[in-house]
Amino acid sequence: MELLQQGAEAKLFRSEYLGRPCVVKQRQPKNYREKILDERILRERIRTECMLLSRAKKAGVRTPVVWKVDLGAKEITCEFVDGKTMKKELLRGSANSLEYCKKAGEIVARLHSCGIIHGDLTTSNIIIHNDGLVLLDFGLGRLAEKQEEFAVDLLVFKKTFAATHYRLEGGWDAVENAYIKAFSTGKSVVAHIGKIEARARYY
């Protein structure tokens, strides 16, 4: 297998499954945790990630198809999605940049409308494939109900977007406006972001 990426939580490998290109996500054990507890946590996080991928797909969000789950090896095998990251396309100044931003806002709205917090929303975790967007890496995701949780998830995206794509005029506005239109309580979630940012200024 070819190592694609090594993060704090998992390693990503490119491989083949039944003759098709795939990505193998291998969760890494934490030596500072007691072994039995670590085993239980890793298994639960794999189950949660698979559940979120399925739930997101049912909500109309394109995600990689999971082909195999190996709880013993702490691995998820899924399809390899060919394409460029949204980050690269926005940085190169694609003519479709604002349209991609709009679609990203709609994706987040669909997630939140079915109670999913992604936990790591960045343009690096979005692949442009056949003119559509595919959302990756639900490893930090979870289910939620509170407006504050949705606002924090969107705020994480806002901060990473601002740090990376500050040159793209109107980019975040396109994300935010699409989110508000696609999510029934989107306007109040966006308003709540302002409250969170105001609180942070006092710490």
Instruction: For residues 197 and 65, give the distance between their C-alpha atoms in angstroms, rounded to a whole number.
Output: 36
Contacts for 59 with CB less than 8 Å, ≥ 6 apart: 110, 111, 113, 114, 116
In the annotation, is 38 catalytic?
no
- Is residue 1 within 8 A of residue 13, CB to CB? The reply is yes
Number of Cβ atoms within 10 Å of the Cβ of 199: 9
What's 10's DSSP letter? E
- Catalytic, out of 38, 82, 120, 173: 120
Task: Name which of 13, 35, 38 is nearest 24 in CA terms.
Answer: 13
Residue pair 85/128 in contact (Cβ under 8 Å)? The answer is yes
Just list the catalytic residues: 120
